[in-house]
């Protein structure tokens, strides 16, 4: 066996050992990849709660209801940027929460023309600034908290303090996301969106 072939097999065996070690230790190094995208904070007393659009399960708005019941804020602004059978997402979310027993009077639908969290952050900040709000709780899915917080900070006026509170996402378990196709897809897409957001904010792409 020539020297070049021996080196090839050595490298192959080394890579196989590294791969086997990484697989064996997956429960150690894979969860931090998910926890990195989560940046939630304990709720604080605020003037209003904002529910970001994009949740088809209703977990975000139900988390907002919990915060109202716990006395953190009296009202909930529900964002909506899509139409579902002629019904805006914000109205669909409110109807869902009411069906679950929440009082309709605490909600305010806030339909908007926004195709991304970048646009949503600017629209919400403009509206809250117009209203003279000084502090708002923002509820979104746990995997979405870090990116959305950075966007509200980057696109906001600085006049509103935002406290991000996570809601659970049934298809995403930070401790075992790689065990499901949806969990893997969710994290992979969030990393891609985070990279795109960085380019958007850095270079105005």
Q: Which residues are CB-contacts of 196 (< 8 A; sequence separation ≥ 6)? A: 205
Residue 205: pLDDT band with limits 50, 70, 90: very low
Q: Which residues are CB-contacts of 14 (< 8 A; sequence separation ≥ 6)? A: none
Could you tell me the two tokens for 128?
């809250």
Residue 189: pLDDT band with limits 50, 70, 90: very high
Looking at the domain assignment, is residue 203 inside a domain? no
Looking at the domain assignment, is residue 132 inside a domain? yes
Domains identified in the chain, total number: 1
Parallel, antiparallel, or unpaired: how do β-strands 87-88 and 83-84 relate?
antiparallel
| CATH number reported for the structural domain that contains residue 113 in this entry | 3.40.50.620
In which domain, by residue range, is 58 found?
Answer: 48-167
**CA dist., res. 91 & res. 80, Å (int):** 8
More confident residue, 120 or 22: 120
Given a contact cutoff of 8 angstroms between Cβ atoms, the answer to whether 38 and 145 are in contact is yes
Residue 95: is its pLDDT beyond 60?
yes
Residue 170: is its pLDDT beyond 50?
yes
Residue 56: is its pLDDT beyond 90?
no
**CA dist., res. 151 & res. 143, Å (int):** 14
Looking at the domain assignment, is residue 30 inside a domain? no
Given a contact cutoff of 8 angstroms between Cβ atoms, the answer to whether 162 and 54 are in contact is no
More confident residue, 138 or 84: 138
Looking at the domain assignment, is residue 23 inside a domain? no
Residue 10: is its pLDDT beyond 80?
no
Looking at the domain assignment, is residue 39 inside a domain? no
Looking at the domain assignment, is residue 157 inside a domain? yes
Given a contact cutoff of 8 angstroms between Cβ atoms, the answer to whether 114 and 89 are in contact is no
**CA dist., res. 169 & res. 55, Å (int):** 9
Looking at the domain assignment, is residue 98 inside a domain? yes
What is the predicted pLDDT for the residue at 115?
82
Looking at the domain assignment, is residue 26 inside a domain? no
Between the alpha carbon of residue 107 and those of residues 68, 75, 76, 94, 142, the distances in Å are 10, 6, 5, 7, 22
């Amino acid at each position: 066996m020539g020297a070049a072939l021996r080196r090839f097999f050595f490298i192959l065996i080394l890579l196989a050992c590294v791969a086997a070690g990484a697989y064996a230790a997956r429960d150690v190094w894979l969860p931090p990849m998910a926890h990195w995208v989560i940046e939630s904070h304990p709720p604080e007393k605020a003037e209003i709660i904002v529910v970001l659009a994009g949740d088809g399960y209703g977990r975000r708005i139900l988390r907002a209801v919990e915060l109202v019941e716990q006395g953190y804020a009296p009202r909930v602004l529900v964002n909506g940027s899509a139409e579902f059978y002629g019904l805006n997402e914000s109205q669909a979310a409110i109807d869902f929460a009411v069906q679950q027993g929440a009082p309709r009077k605490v909600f305010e639908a806030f339909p908007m023309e926004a195709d991304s969290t970048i646009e949503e952050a600017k629209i919400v900040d403009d509206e809250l600034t117009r209203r003279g709000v000084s502090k708002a709780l923002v509820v979104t899915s746990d995997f979405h908290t870090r990116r959305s917080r950075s966007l509200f900070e980057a696109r906001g006026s600085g006049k509103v303090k935002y406290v991000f509170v996570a809601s659970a996402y049934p298809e995403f378990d930070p401790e075992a996301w790689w065990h499901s196709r949806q969990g893997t897809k969710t994290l992979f897409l969030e990393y891609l969106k985070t990279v795109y957001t960085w380019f958007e904010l850095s270079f105005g792409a």
